[in-house]
Amino acid sequence: MYLGAADTGYRLVDMDMDAAMIGGMALIVLGLGATAYGLFPRTARPAHDPVGTRVRVSALDDARIRPAHVGLLLVMAAAVTIDAMKPVTLAFVMPGFAAEYGLGSPINPSGSPPVALLPLAGIAGTVIGSFLWGWLGDRIGRRASILLAGVLFIATAVCGSMPSYALNLVMCFVMGLGVGGMLPIIFTLIAETIPARHRGWLMVLIGGDVAGAYVITSWLSSTLVPDYTWRILWLIGLPTGLLLIALNRWIPESPRFLLAHGREAEARAVMERYGAEVVVEEAPRAPVEELVEPRFAQLLRRPLSSLTAVIVLLGLGVGLVSFGFQLWIPSNLQELGFTEVTASAILRDSALIGLPLNFLVAWLYGFWSSKKTIVLLAGLTAAALLGFALLGDRAIEDRTLLYVLLIVPIWGISSVTAVLVAYSSEVYPTRVRSRGTGLAAGTSKAGGVLVIGVVAAALTPPTIAVTALIGAIPMALAALAALLFGVETRRRRLEDITAGEFGRAAPSGASLP
């Protein structure tokens, strides 16, 4: 249907859906259900059952980085990029989507309904997906959850050929389910597989690839959209999803997850693959993890409640910036006189300028202080946004100043996002780690639902100053919360972090999952 509309500029609005497309969409739904069913284990030890394993998982933290680790990190970096491209694409889709369907936007204020309903549907899906995949990650495993998200990306590429406005919203919501869940699961898997002395900086470095996703998406937008319209950006989900599935052979299951579910033989195989010495001990496992209930409610109880407060506040700040300021800035720049191509190029260049700073942030998080890095990044982001709030539309008068102010919220927020998810994957115990990273991702998207919902309800496109101020205030509060309640995770074993949080140290020679 998309290719057949080439002679009309790839406009599919009001085109009837034929029987083949309706049948194909039915098959997509059946295929997703079959995939989910196939990934659920038929039998598995419930996470709350005591596990008397004698394999020492801490050996993973003593292993050296070897080719298997490098392969895992490269695949995870590709997965992060593919995942992050989905919500980033929303910002570049909205101008063309609004024009084709006559929706209200900064360029067309009199249109109706507001174009904000599209990102609202997508981001609402990511919120639900974050919590759903958080549960799935702790239930069916980290690897299986990543693969399910990849299949969902392939299925929702059909958005690019969807003629109906209403069905575009539905498919955008479904796409959001997979997007919201995959990123936290990726970081959970990395945290549980990479040795402690390298864990922090490598996770932040990979997470910073969110900025790389912005560079790639803005480049694709400026290159392809003028000829193939906004729809081509959704269709790209098909090859990128297939790539993720093709790379699955380099994605292992977490040995900590396997041991927590009584799958000791599989855990041994993974540990040997990553050069970890398999140490069998007769001493019983330390009881710290036995205090953890595999439920979301555990995150709200002491001693995890204060850390959860930090995660939630920082997540809300990230969401309000990512889906407030970032989401509307392409449209804002076009409203102020820039062409669609020029606006995309400005944002691409801003992301490129800041991209090398990811290495500095990774070093700070891994070798200086995880807690102080969070405070520093949140504070800088708040300061840059306050600059936009004070200058408003006058910020475009000086191109150099515009780039300086854009670098932090365009590039910097990707680093804050990386730090947030990395931090949440370190501070929560194994039994609820996937739920914890899902909570971090979910709250970051909840901020987006909040700001986009306000815009949609008011039917008024936000200005640069408004979206900047909305993001600046919570980011400043998040920096303060991290300073007061955050814990240091730099180069500490995950089990030691958990033991410290529960007010006890692991007995010498004991093993934790």
What is the rounded distance in angstroms from the CA atom of residue 264 to the CA atom of residue 59? 14
- The upper half-sphere exposure of residue 1, i.e. CA atoms within 13 Å in the direction of its Cβ, equals 22
Cα distance between the two ends of the chain: 51
What pLDDT was estimated at residue 401? 75
Q: What Rg value do the Cα atoms of the chain yield, rounded?
A: 23
- The upper half-sphere exposure of residue 53, i.e. CA atoms within 13 Å in the direction of its Cβ, equals 28
What pLDDT was estimated at residue 373? 93
What is the rounded distance in angstroms from the CA atom of residue 312 to the CA atom of residue 293? 20
The encoded tokens of residue 197 equal: 């002395």
What pLDDT was estimated at residue 53? 44
The encoded tokens of residue 48 equal: 């709350």
The encoded tokens of residue 165 equal: 């406005």
The residue among 391, 387, 393 whose CA lies nearest residue 412 is 387
What one-character DSSP code corresponds to residue 47?
T
Confidence of residue 458 (pLDDT cuts 50, 70, 90): low
Confidence of residue 499 (pLDDT cuts 50, 70, 90): confident
**Chain mean pLDDT for the chain:** 78
What pLDDT was estimated at residue 341? 65
pLDDT at 362 over 70: yes
C-alpha distance from residue 114 to each of 38, 101, 183, 322, 324 (Å): 40, 10, 29, 19, 15
Q: Which own/partner contact pairs does 399-402 have at CB distance under 8 Å and 24+ positions apart?
A: 402/346
CA 326 from centre of chain: 15
What pLDDT was estimated at residue 513? 35
Describe the crossing of helices 117-139 and 67-101 by its angle, rounded to 10 degrees.
150
The answer to whether 130 touches 318, Cβ cutoff 8 Å, is: no
Residue that has been written with the tokens 């049948």 in this structure: 23
What pLDDT was estimated at residue 46? 45
pLDDT at 128 over 60: yes
The residue among 489, 351, 486 whose CA lies nearest residue 414 is 351
Mean pLDDT across 149-162: 86
The answer to whether 131 touches 296, Cβ cutoff 8 Å, is: yes
Q: How many other C-beta atoms are found inside a 10 Å radius of the C-beta of residue 352?
A: 18
Of all residues in the chain, the percent with pLDDT exceeding 70 is 80
What pLDDT was estimated at residue 325? 73
pLDDT at 424 over 60: yes
Q: How many other C-beta atoms are found inside a 10 Å radius of the C-beta of residue 304?
A: 21
CA 238 from centre of chain: 19
pLDDT at 300 over 80: yes
pLDDT at 149 over 80: yes
What pLDDT was estimated at residue 156? 85
What pLDDT was estimated at residue 34? 92
Burial of 39 (0-12, 13-18, 19+ CB in 10 A): middle
pLDDT at 460 over 70: no
Rounding to the nearest 10 degrees, give the CA dihedral for residues 392, 217, 83, 308: -10
pLDDT in tens, 28-72: 889 988 998 888 876 544 444 444 445 555 556 666 777 878 888
The answer to whether 382 touches 475, Cβ cutoff 8 Å, is: yes
Return the minimum-mean-pLDDT range out of 5-14, 105-114, 233-242, 266-275.
105-114
What pLDDT was estimated at residue 368? 92
- The upper half-sphere exposure of residue 52, i.e. CA atoms within 13 Å in the direction of its Cβ, equals 3
What pLDDT was estimated at residue 55? 54
pLDDT at 506 over 70: no
Q: How would CATH label the architecture of 51-496?
A: Up-down Bundle (1.20)
What residue spans define the domains of the chain? 51-496
What pLDDT was estimated at residue 60? 62
- The upper half-sphere exposure of residue 484, i.e. CA atoms within 13 Å in the direction of its Cβ, equals 12
What pLDDT was estimated at residue 504? 46
pTM for the model stands at 0.74
The answer to whether 73 touches 202, Cβ cutoff 8 Å, is: yes
Residues 6 or more apart in contact with residue 92 via CB below 8 angstroms:
217, 218, 221, 225, 230, 233, 330, 344
92 or 507: which carries more pLDDT confidence? 92
What pLDDT was estimated at residue 52? 41
Residues 6 or more apart in contact with residue 179 via CB below 8 angstroms:
83, 86, 87, 122, 125, 126, 129, 149, 153
The single-letter code of the amino acid at 461 is P
Residue that has been written with the tokens 């030890």 in this structure: 45
pLDDT in tens, 376-396: 988 888 888 888 788 776 766
The answer to whether 482 touches 371, Cβ cutoff 8 Å, is: yes
What pLDDT was estimated at residue 511? 34
Burial of 52 (0-12, 13-18, 19+ CB in 10 A): exposed
Mean pLDDT across 23-29: 89
What pLDDT was estimated at residue 376? 92
The encoded tokens of residue 404 equal: 């300086």
What pLDDT was estimated at residue 372? 92
What is the rounded distance in angstroms from the CA atom of residue 5 to the CA atom of residue 440? 41
